[in-house]
Amino acid sequence: MSGIYQIRNNLNDKTYIGSSNNLRKRFIKHKSRLNRNEHRNPHLQSSWNKYGEDNFSFEILLVCEQFELLRYEQLCLDNFIRFGIDYNIAKFASAPMRGRHHSQKTKDILRSVNQKNRTGKSNPFYGKTHSKNHMDNLKKINRKYMIKNNPSYGGLSEKHKMKISERMRGSSNPRAKLTEVCVLEIRELYSTGNYTQIELGNKYNISNTIISGIVNRKTWLHV
């Protein structure tokens, strides 16, 4: 029988919410771990040790189909969290680690286990090599995957190209050093004959090449 359950402290009504596709086995498992002082939830374990088994109840909140477990578990969690009477560390049924972080000690243990299992002779591929034929096949698969999953596969439409061009034009371009107003000023100053391209470059702190493109109308054509 699948459903949502609670382990309730009869003295203060604090509760631990969970879900399972086999409620009876889950109750037995919780009770066994709590009595051995090995439960993964330190808050619940601490209360169990303090108040004793007789002051806790294992109760079924509702019975539902297996595919509905996470949905109903989250609804129950939200209700008990709101009143602050829950033992649950994880506040999200579908993502237990969401909003939480491993301690440095846990990180060190995980790193040690991963290194032990994936280096040297512990690595399942230790001492082995792919054949040339296998490597060629992998390259073909990767190339095919990268092409077909590329957003630009098949080429961009003219409309899309125009949108990109407009978005990157003039001062809208993140790399632009000038604004449309500055470009108009540069052209006006240069037309007076009182400024050389070098002087304008120094004045606006840009290269002579950029100044040349502006005054000769090879760049910033929309202005």
β 15-20/3-9 pair status: antiparallel
**pLDDT tens digits, residue range 92-137?**
555 444 444 556 665 666 566 566 656 666 666 667 777 888 778 7
Q: How far apart are CA 134 and CA 121, in angstroms?
A: 23
What band does 89 get if pLDDT is binned at 50, 70 and 90? low
Report the CATH number that the domain containing residue 65 is assigned in CATH: 3.40.1440.10
Tally of domains within the chain: 2
Final residue belonging to a domain, choices 61, 82, 103: 82
CA 13 to chain centre: 36
| Chain mean pLDDT for the chain | 78
Higher pLDDT, 119 or 5: 5
Reported as a single tens digit per residue, the pLDDT across 26-75 is 999 999 999 999 998 888 999 999 999 999 999 998 888 888 888 888 88
What is the span of the domain harbouring residue 56?
Answer: 3-82
Q: Counting beta carbons within 10 angstroms of the beta carbon of residue 78, is it exposed (0 to 12), middle (13 to 18) or buried (19 or more)? A: middle
Would you say residue 18 lies in a domain? yes
- Does some domain include residue 88? no
Give the full edge-to-edge strand order of the sheet including 56-63: 15-20, 3-9, 56-63
Domain's final residue, options 82, 111, 134: 82
